[in-house]
Amino acid sequence: MSAITAPRGTRDILPQESWKWSFIVNSAAETMKNFGFSEIHLPIFEHTELFSRGVGETTDIVEKEMYTFNDRGGRSITLRPEATAGVMRAAIENNLCAQGASVKLWNWGPMFRHERPQKGRYRQFYQIDAECLGIADAMADVEVIALSIELFRRLGLKNLEVVINSVGCEKCRPVYRQKLVEYFTAHIDELCPTCVDRLGRNPLRILDCKNESCGHAADGAPDIFDSLCDECREHFEKVRGGLERLGFNYTLSKRLVRGLDYYTKTAYEILSGDLGAQNAVAGGGRYDNLSKAIGGGKIPGVGFACGLDRVALVMEEQGCSFGKRPGTSVYCVALDEESRGDVQVLTHKLRMSGLSAECDTSGRGFKSQMRSAGACKFACIIGNDERKSGTVAVKNLSDGEQVSIPIEEAVTFINEKLKNSETLV
RNA sequence: GUGAGUGUAGCGCAAUUUGGUUAGAGCUUCGGAUUGUGGUUCCGGCGGUUGAGGGUUCAAGUCCCUUCACUCACCCCA
C-alpha cells in the first residue's frame, strides 16, 4: 500500500517556510492597523449561490474552478474561491453598513480553485484580503490602492508595476459591451475559439486574451475610456489624481479586465516580473453592485486581494529579508542519566520565565546534546557535581565562558544575560 | 481540460559510446576519537523492492507500454 500524499495543488508549509509566512502576515497586520482596517474571520465554505451570484455565472471561477459539493443536509456548499463575496455577505448579514455606515475589514486565509497547478498557482492558495465597504467616493479607491502598495513597500518587494483601468458601471458598461460585440463580430475570424464563445457571453474578456491573434484584434477595439459615463469618468480621474498626489507611479491599461463580474469602475493589479507566467501579486478594484447581486442593500465597496504564496515567492526570488528566524536561546544538558530529571525541571522553569529553552528528551548522549546546544546562546549543564552542590554550569556558547551558579538563581541569571546580549545586538 | 519535461537514500546528485555482477559517494542524522564540555577535523553506523504495474531480454535504474506524482507552459488569475 502506498503512502497517502497531499491532494494535487495542495502543499504543506513546513517550518523552514512557515516562519517567513508569519513574518509577512504580521507585517501585513501592522499595515492594516495603520490604515484602520480591522480583522474579520470568515467561514472557509459558503453557500454556492454566494459565488455564482456574486462572482458571476459566466466567470471562469464559477464555470470550472469551484470546489462544490452537497453537504449531508443536501445544501450546495462551495469552498471559497475568493474572499470579497464572503466579506460582503458578512457585512450584510451583520448590518455592518446599516444607515450608511462604513467598515474597513481585512482577513487572510486559504482560497480554493480547481486549476492545473503551476508556478505561483495552487488549488489551495492563500490570500491577504482587504475590503472597504460603504464608501462610494474615489478617495476610498485611492486609500485601498495605497494600502496594497505600502504593504509591499514594507516587505521590501522591488520592481512592481501598478496597472489600473476603469471597467465602467451598470449604466455605461452595456453601451461599451455593445460596441465591443459589434467590433469583434466584424473581426470574428481573427478570434480564438474561446473568444468566439466569449463574444456572446462576456465580450470584455476578449480584451484580456493573451492569444496573439486576439490581442491583435483587440488593439483596434473601441476604447473603454470613450464609453465611460460622466460619473465613471469623473471617478476615474479622481482616482488617478489621488494616486498622483501620493506620488505613486502606475500604468493605464484598457486591457485590464478583471475576471470577476462584480467589478465596477476601478480595476487594478500589481504585477511582478519575478513570478513567471502568473505575474499578479495583488489585484482588486471597486464593486458597487456586489451587494445587490447577493441580496443586500446598496453597499458600495472597494478592496484587493494579495497572493501570500506569490509574495513569499517574490521575496525569496529578490532576496528580501524575513527578519530573524526564531531559535532556541538556552539548551539544557544532562551529563549523566541521573541528571535528566533536574534538566527537564530547569528547562521548564526557563520556559515559564518566557525564554525559549530546550533539552534532550530522547536519551541522546552528552556529546550530541552539546552539539545541539551549539546552535543556542547558552548551555546549562548539570552533572553529578552540580547536583551535589546544588548548582548549574552556565556556559556562554559564543565566547566559551562558563560559570557555576546556584540552581535557584539560574533562571534570573540567564534572563539578565540574555537581556544584555539582546541590547548588544 | 491540453501540451512538454522530470521521477534513484531524509535532501541535492552519480552509475561509463547504442542494457552487464552485490546501485555509489556528499550533506543530514546517529555513535565514537584516554573516564564531565559545542558549531571545525577524523573514523564508523543507519539508510533504497531506482514512483507504481506490466513487457522485451540470458540480463533492465538504463529499452517499450500503461499508470501515478511533480514541474513548467496554455487557459485564467492571487
pLDDT at position A199, please?
Answer: 78
**Which positions 42-71 on chain A have a beta carbon less than 7 angstroms from any atom of strand B?**
59-61
CA–C1' distance A3–B49 (Å)? Answer: 15
Cβ-based neighbour number of residue A321 at 10 Å: 10
The Cα–Cα gap between A111 and A119 comes to: 16
CA of residue A354 to C1' of nucleotide B45, angstroms:
39
pLDDT number for residue A326: 86
Whole-structure pTM value? 0.92
User: Which residues in chain A land under pLDDT 50?
Assistant: 425
How many residues make up chain A in this entry? Answer: 425
Q: A257: which 3 cell numbers?
A: 479586465
Minimal CA–CA distance to A236: which of A219, A220, A221, A256?
A256
pLDDT for position A210: 67
Are the beta carbons of A359 and A344 closer than 8 angstroms?
A: yes
In angstroms, rounded to a whole number, what is the distance separating the alpha carbons of residues A133 and A287? 9
pLDDT of A3: 73
Predicted pLDDT at A178:
86
Query: Residue A234: its pLDDT value, please?
Result: 96
Question: How far, in Å, is the CA of A117 from the C1' of nucleotide B64?
Answer: 30
Q: What pLDDT does A425 receive?
A: 44
pLDDT digits (tens, 9 = 90+) for A272-300: 988 888 899 999 999 999 999 999 999 99
* Nucleotides of strand B lying closer than 7 angstroms to a protein CB: 1-3, 30-33, 36-39, 51-52, 69-78
ipTM given for this complex = 0.86
Sort strands A67-70 and A76-79 into parallel, antiparallel or unpaired: antiparallel
A104 in contact with nucleic chain B (CB within 7 A): no
Distance A7 CA to B6 C1' (A): 19
Residue A114: per-residue pLDDT: 93
